[in-house]
């Protein structure tokens, strides 16, 4: 016999009180998150960076203390090995493991390029890694687009290193973030007396020793999705090529396919768009780029499920090997213009 249902209570508190309780719970969760990372325990909690992203989105007044704590807190990256790499070749590309986010270093014969700088709280770790590689000056600093997982720690990088040029994509005003992270980056850039150059498709950067970087996108302003406004660029050294896409999605890929021949897009290594999301990395795009290897820059057990299974399967069917920073840590590829030499921080489990 079915039991008689209990009567529901009416909540004994007001909406305002409920909001207060939620804020307090969020605060407690944040403290637990900090402790979890500080003590190196691996409780199933969100990362500090994820919590920061939540605070950032809420844009609550009076949470500057979060930024202050973060500046001193241990980081949520994959633990960069701050030792110089051993790969062969005059050119090196580092797909730096910054957890859920993007950060790639190109060491060309005469210039250093940094594309994105991970989420918040990773400044010290990124600086330490770059210094261990002998980087003193960043000739070209590219922010693919102003989402926190790409520009989170860029202000610290700007403050620390000598910077040649800063490259941003032209982004519709309606999509520009109002986050403190973004404002802090703009402040750091102007405090250094630097100007921001807009990424211009067709522009070519001579990196010395025969290495060049071509800006391919964004082809236009995308009003729907900030990700599609990502800077897309291709590095060519001899016969070897590397394509970087930020978080560009399907719409951006389609425009690039309309403008360029496959020979202009082809690359040995493709950094997958948007951490390997199925909103990017279409079959026709992968076919045109025709890479041997694809890199998904993503965090372990990230809440987005990146890289998406659909993309993983697509790569498998096309015979493209997938490297994931969440599994292998930082990936460094050396090129002598003909051959690639690869070193990973650890073996994928
Ligand atoms: Zn991203």
pLDDT tens per residue, range 239-284: 999 999 999 999 999 999 999 999 999 999 999 999 999 999 999 9
pLDDT of residue 22: 66
**pLDDT at position 211, please?**
97
Q: How far, in whole angstroms, is CA 219 from its chain's centroid? A: 20
Can you tell me the distance from the alpha carbon of 235 to that of 215, in angstroms, rounded to the nearest whole number? Answer: 9
Q: Check residue 28 and give its pLDDT.
A: 73
Cα 309 to the center of its chain, rounded Å? 20
Q: How far is the CA of 52 from the centre of ligand 1 (A)?
A: 15
CA of 227 to the centre of ligand 1 (A): 8
Distance 98 CA to ligand 1 centre (A): 11
Quote the ligand 1 centre to 102 CA distance (angstroms): 7
pLDDT value of position 276: 97
The pLDDT value recorded for residue 9 is 46
- Enumerate domains of the chain plus CATH numbers: 17-72 (no CATH), 91-344 (3.60.15.10)
Q: How far is the CA of 247 from the centre of ligand 1 (A)?
A: 5
Q: Identify the pLDDT of residue 225.
A: 95
> 148 C-alpha to center of ligand 1: Å?
8
Q: Which two tokens stand for residue 72?
A: 């001193």
The structure tokens 């730096």 sit at: 96
- Give the distance (Å) from ligand 1 centre to CA of residue 50: 12
24 alpha carbon – ligand 1 mean position (Å): 29
CA of 292 to the centre of ligand 1 (A): 23
Q: From the CA of 12, how far away is ligand 1's center (Å)? A: 42
Distance 298 CA to ligand 1 centre (A): 9
Please give, one letter per residue, the 3-state secondary structure of 196-243. Answer: EEECCCCCEEECCCCCEEEEEECCCCCCCCHHHHCCEEEEEECCEEEE
Distances (CA, A) of 318 to 50, 94, 157, 273, 295: 33, 24, 38, 17, 15
Count CA within 13 A, CB hemisphere, residue 37. Answer: 25
Q: What's the pLDDT score for residue 88?
A: 87
> Which residues in the chain come in under a pLDDT of 50?
1-2, 4, 6-9, 59, 61-65, 67-79
* pTM summary value: 0.78
pLDDT value at residue 2? 47
Ligand 1 centre to CA of 340 (Å) is 26
pLDDT of residue 120: 96
Q: How far is the CA of 147 from the centre of ligand 1 (A)?
A: 7
């Amino acid at each position: 016999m079915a039991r008689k249902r209990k009567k529901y209570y009416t909540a004994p508190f007001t909406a305002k009180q409920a909001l207060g309780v939620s804020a307090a719970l969020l605060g407690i969760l944040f403290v637990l998150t900090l402790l979890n990372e500080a003590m190196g325990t691996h409780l199933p909690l969100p990362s500090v960076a994820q919590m920061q992203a939540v605070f950032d989105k809420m844009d609550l007044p009076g949470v500057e203390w979060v930024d202050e704590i973060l500046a001193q807190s241990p980081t949520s990256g994959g633990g960069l090995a701050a030792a110089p790499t051993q790969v062969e070749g005059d050119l090196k590309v580092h797909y730096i493991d910054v957890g859920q986010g993007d950060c790639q270093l190109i060491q060309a014969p005469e210039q250093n390029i940094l594309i994105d700088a991970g989420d918040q709280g990773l400044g010290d770790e990124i600086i330490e890694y770059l210094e261990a590689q002998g980087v003193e000056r960043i000739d070209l600093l590219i922010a693919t687009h102003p989402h926190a997982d790409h520009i989170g720690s860029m202000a610290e990088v700007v403050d620390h290193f000598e910077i040649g040029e800063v490259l941003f994509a032209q982004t519709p005003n309606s999509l520009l973030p109002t986050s403190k992270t973004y404002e802090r980056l703009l402040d750091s850039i102007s405090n250094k007396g630097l100007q921001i150059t807009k990424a211009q498709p067709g522009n070519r950067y001579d990196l010395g020793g025969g290495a060049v970087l071509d800006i391919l996108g964004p082809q236009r302003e995308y009003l729907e999705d900030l990700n599609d406004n990502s800077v897309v660029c291709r590095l060519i050294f001899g016969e070897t090529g590397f394509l970087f896409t930020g978080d560009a999605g399907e719409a951006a890929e389609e425009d690039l396919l309309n403008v360029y021949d496959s020979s202009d897009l082809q690359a040995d290594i493709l950094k997958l768009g948007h951490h390997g999301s199925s909103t990017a990395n279409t079959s026709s795009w992968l076919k045109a780029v025709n890479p041997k290897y694809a890199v998904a820059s993503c965090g372990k057990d990230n809440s987005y499920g990146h890289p998406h299974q659909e993309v993983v399967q697509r790569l498998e069917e096309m015979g493209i090997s997938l490297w994931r920073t969440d599994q292998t840590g930082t990936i460094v590829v050396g090129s002598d213009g003909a051959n690639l030499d690869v070193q990973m921080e650890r073996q994928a489990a």
